[in-house]
Homo-oligomer: A and B are copies of this chain.
């Protein structure tokens, strides 16, 4: 951490900052440039609250040298994390392909889709039981009934299930019934929820927030890891920009950036990122080519009856076609499914 003092700061002000830092056990390295006095801080700087230092008189700005995340940092754990979901692996050279409907609607629907996506090569079944909807007047999901139907589909197909949690209230139900607990984009900084999930040892799928920086996203992973749960799969799902032809802007550069910064696996959701089914195929392929550890894709046997997100769902036949292409690219990348 580097502290830049105001060009007009007094010696007394510099001294006050120095004292604060040494009081916290940190080393200090003063350097006077032509205009600016600069304080280099040496030691475990993650314990310092930059906001506090900025409130000292004479401090102009703080420049960060180290990343604020530690457990998620590849610097301290160079090898890839491989998340093991009851024997199905995600990370390293193992792809996780999570497919299924936006919302679980009925036993018939979820079983039919589960069988179909399994046949096409998916190794996880995703489906929403609790749905975060922008409007209170939209369908909110089957809730606990939805979890039950997912379990039935799992029993039929053997596919582990991934579904979104929206509140700490249901943590026990999720821990007992779900294989991968998804934290949605809107809850990426629901810190209470992250803390509670940190106390479990369930694999967590952590979606990037609607306008989260990569650093904030990794800090949310750090929240869970700080609690003791290191089974985290990150999921890029597009960020908000001013572009209106797509729902969000899928940020595929996040994949190689995450690979450099962190050891955690990262998958891509082209369905939510783009909002249109015709964009899923090209971006699913692009994600694999960019090095993603997997995909999350919406598949629905009858999009016109879908109670949510119909226009971004693939029909099973199209999903099957996409998977054939994904497999070719996966092989080129040295990944197995």
CA–CA, A242 to B243, complex, Å? Answer: 8
B245 near A242 with CB under 8 A, answer no
Q: Are A213 and B328 in contact (CB under 8 A)?
A: no
CB distance from A331 to the nearest CB of B (A): 11
Partner of A283, one of B223, B239, B252: B252
User: Closest residue to A194 on the B side, CB-wise?
Assistant: B136
A43:B34 contact, CB within 8 angstroms: yes
Instruction: State in angstroms the CA–CA spacing of A240 and B131 once bound together.
Output: 25
**Contact yes or no, A7 B49, CB < 8 A:** no
Residues of B within 8 A of A309 (CB): 51
Interchain CB contact under 8 A, A210 and B213: no
Q: Do A243 and B251 touch across chains, with their CB atoms under 8 A apart?
A: yes
Q: Contacts of A172 on B, CB cut-off 8 Å?
A: none
CB interface residues, A 108-152, toward B, < 8 Å: 132-139
Asked whether, in the complex, the Cβ of B186 is within 8 Å of the Cβ of A167, the reply is no
A residues 19-49 in Cβ contact with B at 8 Å: 29, 31, 33-36, 38, 40, 42-44, 46-47, 49
Q: Decide if A239 touches B249 in the complex (CB within 8 Å).
A: yes
The reply on A287 being an interface residue by CB < 8 A is yes
- Which residues of the other chain, B, contact A219 by a CB distance below 8 angstroms? 134-136
Q: A190 contacts which chain B residues (CB < 8 A)?
A: 166, 186-187, 190
B63, B222, B306: the one contacting A136 at CB < 8 Å is: B222
In the assembled complex, the CB of A316 is this many whole angstroms from the nearest CB of chain B, namely 15
For the complex formed, measure the closest distance between the CB of A236 and the CB atoms of chain B, giving whole angstroms.
Answer: 11
CA distance A135 to B307 in the complex (A): 37
CA distance A33 to B44 in the complex (A): 10
| A: contact size bracket | 35 or more
Q: Pick the interface stretch among A90-98, A173-181, A273-281.
A: A273-281
* Contact segment of A52-60, A81-89, A199-207: A52-60
Do A55 and B303 have beta carbons less than 8 Å apart?
A: yes
Complex interface: chain B residues within 8 A of A325 (CB): 332
Judge if A255 is at the interface, Cβ distance under 8 Å. yes
CA distance A261 to B135 in the complex (A): 17
**Docked complex Cα distance between A186 and B319 (Å):** 34
Question: Are A192 and B210 in contact, with the CB atoms below 8 A?
Answer: no
Taken together as a complex, chains A and B put the C-alpha atoms of A274 and B252 apart, in Å, by 11
Known contacts: A2-B2, A286-B287, A328-B332. The answer to whether A279 contacts B251 by CB under 8 A is no
Query: What is the CB-to-nearest-CB distance from A168 to chain B, in angstroms, rounded to a whole number?
Result: 6
Q: Which of B132, B167, B216, B288 contacts A189 (CB 8 A)?
A: B132
Apart from A137-B226, A166-B190, list 19 A-B contacts with CB within 8 A. Answer: A31-B42, A33-B65, A34-B42, A49-B138, A49-B139, A49-B307, A55-B310, A59-B311, A133-B191, A167-B193, A211-B242, A213-B243, A214-B243, A240-B242, A241-B249, A241-B251, A252-B252, A253-B279, A255-B282
Name 12 A/B residue pairs within 8 A (Cβ), A-sorted: A38-B65, A40-B40, A51-B306, A51-B310, A51-B312, A56-B304, A210-B211, A241-B242, A250-B251, A252-B286, A285-B289, A286-B287
